[in-house]
Structures are given as C-alpha cells and as structure tokens.
Amino acid sequence: MTKKRYKIIGLFHLRFLFLCILAGIGSGYFTLITNQAYFYFKQLYQYSPYSIFIWTPTVFCLIAFLFKHYFPYAGGSGLSQGYALDAFAQYELKNTYSIKTMFGKILLTLGSIGSGASLGREGPSIQICSAIFGSMKGLSLKHKKLFIRLGSGIGVATAFNAPLGGIIFVLEEYLKVSRIEINNLLLLGIIIAGYTGTLIYGDYSYMGRVPTSLLTYHWQTIVLSIIAGIICGLAGAALTRFIVYFTVNQGQFWYAFSRKHYLCLAIFFGFCVALLGFLSDGASFGNGAVEVKYVLDNGLSLPWHYGLTKSLGTLFSIAANAPGGYFSTALSIGAGLMDTVHRLWPILPVEQFYLLGMVGFLAAITNAPITAVAMMLSIVIDSQYFLLPMILSSLTASYLANLFGDSVYHQQVLIYIDKQKYRQTR
C-alpha cells in the first residue's frame, strides 16, 4: 500500500471519528433539551390545566406553518426517510439530510414534545444523526447512502442508550447485507457516539429494571405470550392503518382537504390532543417512556385506559403533522394494552404482561421482530431472563400484523417517493 493510500485512509477515519463525536454530542444535547421541553410542558399543565387548550393548538399551528414553508423535509418520524434511500435521487437525498433540515427537525420536534404530542424524540434523533453523517464530503452517492444508514444505527443506539438495538436495527432493516468493513464502522461509530452521549446525558436505563424473581416462566407464560402477540399484532395493524391514512393520504377527500386547510387541522387536532390529555389526567401526553419506566421500576399499574388514550393521542398528533417518533410510543401502548389484559386475567406478575406487550406492539408496527427483541434486551435491565416469551410474543405479533400490510415505516415511504419506486425500498 502506497504512502498516499495510507494518508487517504487515515484522513477518512479521522473524519469519521469527528462525525461520530458530533453525533454523540448532538444526540446527547437533543435528549437534554427535549426532556426539558416535556418537563416544562408538564409543569405548565400541573400549574394551569386549562392553559393547554390555548398552548397546544397554537404550537401545533406554528409547527404546521414552519413545516410547510421552511422545513418541508423535516416532517414525520425520521425512520421512513431511511427506507426510501435507494429510491432517492441526489436532490432528494441532499435536502432530506441537509444541515437545514437537521435544524428544522430539532426545532419542530422540540415544539411537538413541548406541546404534549404523544410522540418521541427517538425517530428524529435518527434523522439528525443521519444528517450529520450525510454531510461528509467527497463521497459517491452509494457511499453517502451507506453513511446515512450507519448514522441511523448510531441514532437508534444513542437515542435509547441501546447499542445492541442500534446494531440489530441497521442490520435487519437498513443494510440487509453484512460485510466486515461496514460492521466495524458501525461498531466503532456506536462506541464513540455512545460514550460521547453518555458524557453529556449520563448512563441510564431507558425503561428501567424488572426484578429477576418476577420473570420465571412456565406454560401459562407461553399461553400469555401468544395472547399478547395476537392482541398487539391486531392493534398494531389497526394503528398502522390509521397512521398511513393520515400521513400517506390514500383517501382522496383527506388528501385535498388536508393540503388546503393544514393550519385549521393543526389547530383542531392540537385541541383534540389537549382535550384528551385533560380528560386522561395527563396520561396521553408524551411518548410514555417516563410513565412506563416508573411503573416497571416500582411494580405499579398503568391507568386502565392508557393503551387507548396513548393510541388516540398519537393519531391526533400525527394528523396535525407534528413530527416525532413512534418507537417509544409503541412500547408504551403495548404496555398499556397488556395492563388491561392483566386486570381481566391477573394470573402472573404485571411486569410480564408489560414486557410481552411492549415487544409485541413494537414488532407489530415495525415488522421487525429481531429488532424489537434486541431493543427490549437493551432498554429493560434483566429482561434477558424473559427472552423466550418475548421472542414468541414478538414473532406472533409481527407475523399477524404482516398479514395486513407492510410496517408503518415502509408504507410511509410513499410520502417521499412515487408508487412506482416502492419496490426499490424493499
């Protein structure tokens, strides 16, 4: 190998190292400011519950205006854009993962979370980290797409503090093929960005811990795993259908009406989010990660209506064009659904119901059962002792939801590309 070749490789790795550090810093501070925005929103709600009927619709309206006129590529969850990479032309790729779009995503997501939307920061974190890696100069179109995919995995890992989840997500969903050079870059990126992020935000468990004494299982747990998979598979398919209707605009009436009256819809659905949160005593606000972590850590129960109100809050937020992710929201919806089942059939510890519901619902909306299991192993401490039931729930839910169509993220690529190019995303 020539001296010039060594220099090129050395410069490449230095640039990659720099981008990893930037991604870790960006993800860490994004976590800080979005968590702070949600905290201030909850403080506002507790201090003056009726104020949200003005605050939430107003912020939703502002988000819709900024999205329409200034940041047209900063909408959605942030994952669907990654599935459309192979169908993107150079122009679309540049705008979707530009620095301008990245700052727009940060601003709009901050407004979304700070106004009570039932969405999370995790999906936007993926687009933000992907934009950082997509900014690397001197790459061919093929290699730029590869770097964006690597950025997506790093975004998942840093957003959830879940290195294993980030690795599996990229391998199962984005890369599809495994080569040692790419795998090494992915691992190196997750290590560097992950450590950088923890220096800012600290090391933490995203969804808490479950005592191992509560995770022993037998034949009743196996039956419960299948039941959880069926319930979450059907519920996940239904939620996917509604989300796709609102976002992909398959209905002619909704498509025409939403394009013309997008500000009115933002105000209306913002009011619906506020009303739902008011009626549920705040349970529908946010992505649910804080609440689910609290009940898991303390062996408590969620409100009986939690699964339903969280689902409706998510739909209202999405219909208003509020940006945000569905990953963590799906976890909380699954926990809420199985909490209801536990109230009807309390044969096992409620923590088992939560774990099976969380992994099942996430697998249902993503059609990615391996990623769902890996995420649970990463975000819930000691969940590895409940691995076989979680695999069964995940597989059942994913298989059942797949009978009704692709994952919500795969179907949402139609927001960004023509139907003729859809096959390129598979």
Where residue 8 falls among pLDDT bands split at 50, 70, 90? low
Confirm if 59 and 267 have CB atoms less than 8 A apart.
no
Q: Which residues contact 418 (CB under 8 A, 6 or more apart)?
A: none
Which residue from 381, 370, 410 is spatially nearest to 161, judged by alpha carbons? 381
How do residues 266-308 score in pLDDT, each as one tens digit?
Answer: 999 999 999 999 999 999 999 999 999 999 988 889 999 999 9
Rounded CA-CA distance 312/333 in Å is 10
More confident residue, 118 or 145: 118
Q: For the domain 212-425, what is the CATH code? A: 1.10.3080.10
Instruction: Assess contact for 379 and 416: CB atoms under 8 A.
Output: no
Which pLDDT score, from 0 to 100, does residue 7 have? Answer: 67
Q: What is the pLDDT of residue 1?
A: 56
3-state secondary structure of 368: coil
Mean per-residue pLDDT, 324-342 = 94
Interatomic CA distance for residues 424 and 426, integer angstroms: 6
210 vs 354: CA distance, rounded Å: 10
Neighbours of 35 (CB within 10 A): 16
The fold of 3-201 is Clc chloride channel (1.10.3080)
Q: For the chain, give the percent of residues with pLDDT over 90.
A: 57
pLDDT recorded at residue 417: 77
How large a percentage of the chain has pLDDT more than 70?
95
The average confidence (pLDDT) of the chain is 89
Q: Flag the least confident range among 44-48, 174-178, 351-355.
A: 174-178
Q: What is the pLDDT of residue 362?
A: 96
| Higher pLDDT among residues 89 and 123, named by residue | 123
And the tokens for 295?
A: 């009940």
Backbone angles phi, psi at 76, to 5 degrees: 75, -165
Each residue's pLDDT tens digit, 37-81 = 999 999 999 999 999 999 999 999 999 999 999 999 998 888 888
Rounded Cα gap, residues 395 and 399, in angstroms: 6
Choice between 86 and 332, residue whose per-residue pLDDT is larger: 332
pLDDT of 254 above 90: no
Distance in angstroms (rounded) separating the CA atoms of residues 300 and 177: 42
Q: What is the pLDDT of residues 362-400, one digit of tens each?
A: 999 999 999 999 999 999 999 999 999 999 999 999 999
Under 8 Å between Cβ of 335 and 362: no
Q: Which residues pair with 381 in a beta bridge?
A: 209
Q: What average pLDDT does this structure show over 247-270?
A: 81
Specify the domain boundaries for CATH 1.10.3080.10 within the chain. Answer: 3-201, 212-425
Q: What is the pLDDT of residues 122-155, one digit of tens each?
A: 889 999 999 998 887 777 778 788 888 888 889 8
The SS3 of residue 147 is helix
Span 178-202, pLDDT tens digits: 678 888 888 888 999 989 988 888 8
